[in-house]
Amino acid sequence: MNLRLPRINPTETSAWKQLTHSAQVLQGQRLQDLFGADPDRAERMSAEGAGWFLDYSKNLLDDQTLHHLLKLLEECGWEQALNATRNGGAINETENRAVLHTVLRDPGHPLRLSDGSQPGVLVEEVLNRMEKFVESVRGGQLRGCTGQAFTDVVNMGIGGSDLGPLMACEALAPYAGPLRVHFVSNVDGAHWQRTLLRLNPETTLFLVASKTFTTQETMANAQSARNWLTQALGERAKVKDHFVALSTNREKVVEFGIDSERMFPFWDWVGGRYSVWSAIGMSLALSIGFERFREFLEGARQMDLHFWETPPARNLPVLLALVGVWNRNFLKMETLAVLPYDQCLSRFPAYLQQADMESNGKSVDREGNPLTYHSGPVLWGEPGTNGQHAFYQLIHQGTVRVPCDFILAANTHYPGGPHHRYLSANAFAQAQALMQGRSLDEVRAVSAGSSNPAEAYQVFEGNRPSNFLLCQRLTPAALGALVALYEHKIWVQGVVWNVFSYDQWGVELGKILAGKVLPLLEEDPQGEVSGVDSSTKALVERWRRWQDGLEKPKGS
């Protein structure tokens, strides 16, 4: 069985050429006219699965474009890529690793890897251990070293070891139990020190979350937490009672002093940004309880099944991915705004930034050649309606076009008053306004013949694309399905763009250089700064003088 990813330059497919032509034709058309000429457009250009409804009809495309996009995916070796992924091929080739985060939501999965290991069995074991641990912490049986039950949990991790659980804890706050969960990620001491003000060492449980257990930020924070605990509790302090490790690196965990019984492992076939389903999800499980955590996994599993079993033309992740390729490569849009109309999803755009940009922010293809076309867009966003009062001006009337993903639940966990109707009306209206715009004639009709010197400024060009994702209620299962939807979307796009979506070499250089700059900050403030460029040298020298008060900033 061929378990390698294909090597196909998408620009050399026949579909790419057809799509280039379609883009020229469609760019001269108006979305509003496409709706006017086709009463079934919204019904046809929508799909449903795993509890989510997707309306992609407000994108500047037609049936033929969609047909070519599906053809493009096929021509890019979709079947081969899917087969290699599902059967445990080392598709993260530059790190020689399989990519099996989907097994995390399918405990007991029968797959056996070439080294004889059975990921599904490992997953089941760890989940069962996590369940017991979560229940004994939440039930107050497992206590701190002075005999008090835990009241606070601090997740110390960064990137994938922070963003997923943080986002999910926020999103599922309506399900949270009595444990208070905090997240410390930034190496900036402000993050840790401001958090500790709210903690009692006797009742705090620390989760050191790091796939590698070598990440500078996390290890520095974990070390400070350990010092704080031992200083505060003196002889009574038993670090092992207050620390848990979530990691793949047993050796480093033991070296840090965490009991291997308190280590919950995961494996190298789980990428950091795809790890919320693994032991990295411990903070979420402690917050919402294990039953809910399993519902979260099951929601994702339902999206996996939808993804694997639904024909591409009705398949949510495939459609979202292909519409994204269309906007990025053919209509030349450089960014994607993710706009959850849900305060609980306030960290969703930040989470998705890592998932998407670390995966598809690539410029070399699978044969090591520079890409001659664009890959992943810049992803950004804020929850509605706050964004409306900040950056939507540019989205409506700026000179760049920004495709938007609107996300909304039909029911809120916080009923009472008109809030949810206002919120929902705004979400629908923004997508509508972006699509239809407002012509000069319409502006003049409002002025009803009276002079209006601002009329040119009140015109909205419209024709601005968006997707709309709707679920019934943001339950653990719905959130699981939403996250899995985007994970698969990212993967489909990586297949088309012919990149390796599961490595992240782009984060390495900065880490190496930080290691070289650090000694310059620790040396004698009067000493010479060498071995760096003139800009870095001047910055470091000024930093030293200002830090030591040897010089005052001008004008201060």
Q: Give the footprint of ligand F6P on this chain (CB under 6 A).
A: 157-161, 210-212, 215, 218, 272-273, 358, 504, 507
CA dist., res. 379 & res. 351, Å (int): 10
CA distances (Å), origin 522, targets 176, 531, 546: 43, 15, 14
Q: How far is the CB of 486 from ligand F6P (least distance, A)?
A: 16
Tell me the closest approach of the beta carbon of residue 362 to ligand F6P, in angstroms.
14
Catalytic annotation present for 358? yes
State the minimum distance, in angstroms, from the CB of residue 273 to ligand F6P: 5
Distance in Å, CB of 249 to ligand F6P, minimum:
8
Residue closer to ligand F6P by CB (options 75, 358) is 358
Active site annotation includes 202: no
Give min distance, CB of 432 to ligand F6P, in A.
Answer: 38
- Catalytic member of 235, 251, 389, 552: 389
CA-CA-CA-CA dihedral for 501, 502, 505, 507, to nearest 10: 100
Residue 399 carries which DSSP code? S
Q: Nearest 5°: CA angle at 218, between 245 and 275?
A: 60
Measured from the CB atom, the residue of 210 and 287 that comes closer to ligand F6P is 210
* Residue 102 CB, nearest approach to ligand F6P (Å): 18
Cα distance between residue 162 and residue 262, in whole Å: 19
- From 358, 382, 488, 489, the catalytic residue: 358
Decide: helix, strand or coil at residue 106: coil
Q: Phi/psi of residue 333, each to 5°? A: -95, 135
Helix/strand/coil percentages in the chain, nearest 5: 55, 10, 35
Q: Which two tokens stand for residue 211?
A: 């796939």
Distance CA 151, CA 227 (A): 20
Q: Please list the alpha-helical segments (H only) found in 289-439.
A: 290-309, 316-325, 348-360, 392-397, 419-436
**168 vs 409, which CB is nearer to ligand F6P?**
168
**Complex with ligand F6P: residue 280 or 339, whichever CB lies closer:** 280
Cβ proximity to ligand F6P: between 272 and 465 the closer is 272
| Peptide linkage before 11 cis (omega within 30 of 0) | no
User: 3-state SS of 177-232?
Assistant: CCCEEEEECCCCHHHHHHHHCCCCHHHEEEEEECCCCCCHHHHHHHHHHHHHHHHH
* Residue 489 falls in the annotated catalytic set: no
Residue of 511, 516, 523, 551 marked active site? 511
Q: Region of 111 please: left (phi>0), alpha (psi -120 to 50) or beta.
A: beta
Residues serving a catalytic function are 358, 389, 511
